[in-house]
Amino acid sequence: MKELTSRIQKLKSSKIGKKVRGRIEEFEEVGRQGNKRWFSELSFCVLTANFTAKGGIKIQDRLGAEGFISLSQSALEEKLEELGHRFYRKRAEYIVENRKYSHKIKDIIREFSNPRRARKWLAENVKGIGFKEGSHFLRNVGYRDVMILDRHVLSVLDKWQIIDRVPKTLTKNRYLNIEKKTEDLAEKSDLSLGELDLYVWYMGCGKILK
């Protein structure tokens, strides 16, 4: 862990650190916006499951909050297929079903005393959202106390022996156990989990997205 911590510290003082800090500020700005903007971010996170962040960003930029909220399911399917989503039918179905939260998702999340309780609610109530996607959504609206354990992050954690191996499937208990292990790394790196995630994700794929 010491060598990995040293690597992260070097990144913090480089141009990558500046990009990470800028991205965190962007997430906090999203968090200050309203329910419609939060629903757009929730829909983005639904799209990224078994897809790519870059592809999700492209779709989100093209459709905007209004597209996620207003398009008919068939029109949304058509747009997602046109924009290259592999699972356009199922993701359109999820987004349409989730519209019942489009006018209150921020209000609901703000009622929770901590983000991990909010994540549990998301995983249990929102279509297409598990612990990974719930963490992604919360980080993207300004919460810093959750870790997004996608394949890039898990690969880096495995490489640096923070975990024994990359699990084939991430159950709730496995997710929480791995997240717990990253807390020590975050503390030693003087970072929140949300910040750490961006550095580790960069180490895994060479990009700082969202």
Marked catalytic residue, from 19, 79, 150, 197: 150
Check 61, 104, 127, 132 and give the catalytic one. Answer: 132
User: Using N-to-C axis directions, what is the helix angle for 88-97 and 35-48, rounded to 10°?
Assistant: 150
180 is catalytic: no
Is position 150 annotated as part of the catalytic site? Answer: yes
| The two three-digit tokens of residue 43, written as one number | 């829909």
* Tally of CB atoms within 10 A around 72: 10
Nearest to 201 by CA among 19, 1, 13: 19
Distance, CA of 27 to chain centre:
11
How far apart are alpha carbons 108 and 69 in whole angstroms? 18
Which residues touch 52 (CB under 8 Å, ≥6 apart)? none
Give the E-state strand segments of the chain in sequence order: none
Among 36, 38, 29, CA closest to 66: 36
Distance CA 50, CA 200 (A): 19
The catalytic residue positions are: 132, 150
